[in-house]
Structures are given as structure tokens and as C-alpha cells.
Amino acid sequence: MRKVNNQLVESLELLLSTIGRWIKIAHRQCIDKYKELDLTEHQYKVLKVLKAGGPYKMMELGDIIHTSSGSLTVMIDRLVAKDMAERFFMAEDRRVVMVAITGTGEKALEQFRNGLIAILTDKINGFDAEK
């Protein structure tokens, strides 16, 4: 059995924690910058998942983003109201509700994602400037 380097593990844990904080801060800045999109961090995450592999059954989507069906329903209602997502019934079984991203949702996702990447890039470039 291989010995684990505790210092390496602690460094990785710190790095992941720091990256998580950066992303949260960048999300907040992006939300402020793109107020007209009226997109929360969780709604952004839903749109990303829908774009990557949708459409999904509501239950599947809830499992993927680790959200209760009640919270997900409210989130999807808001995305549908903004025309960023759509609900429809599965053709084979009309009891099954499906969710997909719309063209408007794809545009909002792209705009938000580009803003998020720009903010994170600026933060990383700030580290280079400190050297």
C-alpha cells in the first residue's frame, strides 16, 4: 500500500476550497453584471446541465443537481417564465414531464458563461501581476 503524503492532500484540499470560493465570488459578480438576465447561480447550473445532456425528466434533473422536486419545480417555473426552459410531456408516457433548454436559455447561458470566464481570467491574471 502506498503512503499518502498528508501535506499534498492538505494542499489539494485548500486549493479546491479556494477555487470553490473564487467561483462563488465570480458567480455573484456575474449575477450583478448581467442583472437583465435575472439568472441565479442555481438556474445557471440547471441550464448548463440541460444544455450538456437534456432534455431530462424532472426527477432525473433533480438527482443530477441534487435538488428536491419542490425547489426544482419553482426553479423551472421561473426559467419557463423567462423563456429559458420549456416543459413538455414524453410522447411514450404523457405522465412524464420533461424539461429542455430553449434558444433563449442557450443565449443567456452563453452570455453568463462568457462573463464568468472573463471574471475568473481577470482573477488569475491578477496573480501573475503580483509576482
Tell me what the pLDDT averaged over the chain comes to.
Answer: 87
Does the pLDDT at position 130 exceed 60? Answer: no
User: Within a 10 A sphere around the Cβ of 22, how many other Cβ atoms?
Assistant: 14
Mean pLDDT of 78-104: 92
pTM of the model: 0.76
- CA distance linking residue 84 with residue 103, whole number of Å: 7
Q: Which residues contact 75 (CB under 8 A, 6 or more apart)?
A: 40, 42, 43, 46, 67
CA Rg value for the chain:
18
What is the structure's pLDDT at 86? 96
- CA distance linking residue 64 with residue 69, whole number of Å: 12
- pLDDT category at 126 given cuts 50, 70, 90 is confident
What is the structure's pLDDT at 128? 61
First-last CA distance in the chain:
40
SS3 of residue 4 by DSSP: coil
